[in-house]
Amino acid sequence: MFCKNCGKEIPDGTKFCSSCGTAIEPATKTEEFKSTVQKTKSKGKKIGGIVMTTLGGLSVIGSFVNDYYWNITHNGVNMSDLVTIGIQIALIAVGVYLIYKSKK
């Protein structure tokens, strides 16, 4: 359950919010359902973030193992190289962002 005043998560059955002190009214079934949906969305963002960050990191590690970056420094950069690097950066950035958003 979440406090209607400050939005902090509070244990079910609590009479006052431990963060702001607002009196808590008993939740209706609709409010309990919304609270459950919100928790599920947060978990999904965190799992998605972890997966994306892991894939991006593995992609970078795989590039180093295959001497991909060494070839770029010695043979020049092609457009496909920039796309690959962009995808790696995007995977990691979006993954970190989703993990950050899951904590809110």
Per-residue pLDDT for the chain (104 aa), expressed as one digit of tens each? 677 778 788 887 778 888 888 887 765 556 666 666 666 777 777 888 888 899 888 888 888 777 777 888 888 878 888 888 889 999 999 989 888 888 76
Domain contains 33: no
Number of helices (H), then strands (E), in the chain: 3, 0
Asked if residue 49 belongs to a domain, the reply is yes
Is residue 13 in a domain?
no
Tell me if 75 is assigned to some domain: yes
pTM assigned to the model: 0.51
Integer Cα distance of 82 and 80 in angstroms: 5
84 Cβ neighbours under 8 A, 6+ residues apart: 63, 68
Number of domains in the chain: 1
Q: Quick check: is 54 in a domain?
A: yes
How many CB atoms are located within 10 Å of the residue 49 CB? 20
Q: Where in the sequence is the domain holding 81, given as residue range(s)? A: 41-102
